[in-house]
Structure 1
Amino acid sequence: MYLGDLMEKAECGQFSILSFLLQESQTTVKAVMEETGFSKATLTKYVTLLNDKALDSGLELTIHSEDENLRLSIGAA
């Protein structure tokens, strides 16, 4: 059994993105799409949800999206 099996679809998707970015803190949108199988629209939605959850929870975690690149920042920037 995988951890993702215990989550709702959206949560599992967000977990997949975050897990990938923890390994590759700076990457391309295309690389994340290939790794996860998500469309660009789904990837964008999940990144927005992750950033919103982090902000609401007071976590110092942000996924930056610039020019088809994604970058994970953890802690004070």
Structure 2
Amino acid sequence: MSADMSEIIIGEIIEAVSEVEKTNSESMDMCLHRDVSTEAIQRLVAHESDAWRLQFETENHVVEVTGNDTILIDGEQM
């Protein structure tokens, strides 16, 4: 995947968490950087294989992202 795709998935993660939190996605952007390395996400997305899974915790949720662009928040697909 291209660098653009890695930015898209980060944006989608932020949107998913902000949707669950019922808050503005712009405020969630700063929170995401505290909870997980967005650089690590970008590297995973750029990886040749899509056979990866990343799980991390925010203050209130468990977020899981997979190489096939699936985003789960607290086990619910977004």
- Same structural fold, with TM-score higher than 0.5 when normalized by the shorter chain: no
Larger % of helix: which? Answer: 1
Q: Normalising by structure 2, what TM-score?
A: 0.32
- Give me the TM-score of the superposition, normalised by structure 1: 0.32
